[in-house]
Copies of this chain bind each other. A is one copy, B any other.
Amino acid sequence: MPVGNVELVKLNPVKGIKIGITEAHVRYAGRKDLTVFDIIAGANTAVVTTQNQFCAAPVQLLREFIAKDSPRYLIVNTGNANAATGEDGKQRAKTTCVALAEKTAVAAEQVLPYSTGVIGETLPADKIIAGLDSALANLTEDNWLGAAHSIMTTDTTPKGHSEIVEIDGTTYTVTGISKGAGMIRPNMATMLGFVATDANIEKSLLQNILTDTVNQSFNRITVDGDTSTNDCCTLIATGQASDTVIDSDQHPHYQAIYDAIKSVMLKIAQLIVRDGEGATKFITVKVSGGKTSEDCAKIAYAVAHSPLVKTAFFASDPNWGRILAAVGYAGVDLDQSQVNVSLDDVRICERGGLASDYTEEKGAEVMKRPEITISIELGQGDATDTVYTCDLSYEYVKINADYRS
């Protein structure tokens, strides 16, 4: 069960993007597992990919392809990550791109492959290729929700968000979907995120926007600290809303579009944490007063990754000593007598010791909440950073001990 309200808003179609989904039986029968995005000619596309050295075969191919040409199709399968599959895996991914390119009369390099699922198993490329006709047959603009479902693996809920902004009489749409619940500590992007807008955004600016908003969203979530081999986040600007080309961050339309994209990114990134494997609590770790934002991020991640902190939150136990211990081993020089820690509005630690007005009752009350912000003030400077995570429950162990079996 995901944490908090995860009901999706209507995922508005983005003019210039059509989506087809089908059952290709990649791993399981009876579920949609193949998704094809059709991108209108002339759109710009930006991608960020995992920093995992064992990046999957489709990620390797995708990097080569997008450097050569402008994508016209995305082909996404679940059930098999096609990771740690060597040269054979790359060839198999390529055959699916070639097959789709032939059916749609585009270059093979204009088809980007994405895979998610179990690592280390051979991709059943033939099944994917066999499913392409069916996916192409139901291409439609209003299929984002269907796609959010069909890219799921251990996710218990589809993830998406959509915003509409009006600027100077032009209506822009930004819609995005994501997937992921475990092996989540994106180090570029989540397992899979697809965001599109009908704004006309110049290509290099689009890449900057993607990198920047991913850093504030997908790169600030963690479930278990495991950076996936298949992380990819894709941002498409179809340019169908208007002829106005947004070509710099000084453009009058820039800020509103940027904010809408960031909002969609953050929402679909946070939905991954809310659906984190076994999660019962959504935890925001906010570190302020640091010398640098890197210091703040180090501390926020140390707290967010600590199994002891995570199990204490699962147990609703205000065991704040574990938070301090994690702050202390994050690798940042600290004066512990300057450190304050609060859980929501309850100050638990003051100047490195127990807060004078703290009571176990107050701590117990705040720990019962399903969404909690841990605020850590370092008293060293003005830098801040924020990371989103969840607790560690029996269910996490169960899911990951059972998965694959």
* A residues with CB within 8 A of B: 51-55, 81, 83-89, 118-121, 182-183, 185, 187, 224-229, 305-308, 311-312, 314-315, 317, 319-322, 324-330, 332-334, 336-337, 339, 349, 351-354, 392-394, 396-398, 400-405
Contacts and interface: CB of A to CB of B under 8 A. Distances in A.
15 contacts: A51-B329, A53-B327, A53-B336, A54-B329, A83-B325, A84-B320, A86-B352, A87-B353, A119-B324, A185-B329, A226-B306, A226-B307, A228-B325, A312-B401, A317-B404
Contact of A325 (B183, B330, B392, B400): B183
B83 A333 contact: no
A394 B402 CA distance: 12
Nearest to A313: B401
Contacts of A403: 319
Contacts of A227: 325, 328-329
Most buried by B among A319, A325, A330, A404: A325
B397 A54 contact: no
Nearest to A334: B53
Contacts of A336: 53-54, 84
A326 B54 CA distance: 9
Given A84-B353, A354-B85, A326 B120 contact: no
Contacts of A228: 325
Contacts of A332: 53
A74 to B, nearest CB: 23
Contacts of A329: 51-54, 185, 187, 226-227
A405 B316 CA distance: 10
A321 B86 contact: no
A229 B185 CA distance: 26
Contacts of A339: 54
Nearest to A223: B307
A224 B308 contact: yes
Contact of A54 (B308, B319, B324, B402): B324
A92 to B, nearest CB: 12
Contacts of A307: 224-226, 307, 392, 396, 400
A401 B325 contact: no
A352 B317 contact: no
Contact of A53 (B187, B226, B321, B333): B333
A144 to B, nearest CB: 29
Given A352-B86, A354-B84, A229 B54 contact: no
Contacts of A55: 328
A185 B326 CA distance: 11
A351 to B, nearest CB: 7
B401 A397 contact: no
Contacts of A187: 329
A52 B402 CA distance: 35
Contact of A312 (B88, B333, B400): B400
Most buried by B among A182, A185, A394: A394
A400 B308 contact: yes
A309 to B, nearest CB: 8
B52 A315 contact: no
A352 B84 contact: yes
Nearest to A337: B86
Contacts of A326: 226
A113 B200 CA distance: 67
Nearest to A51: B329
A124 to B, nearest CB: 15
A349 to B, nearest CB: 7
Most buried by B among A311, A315, A321: A321
Contacts of A393: 397
Most buried by B among A187, A224, A401, A404: A401
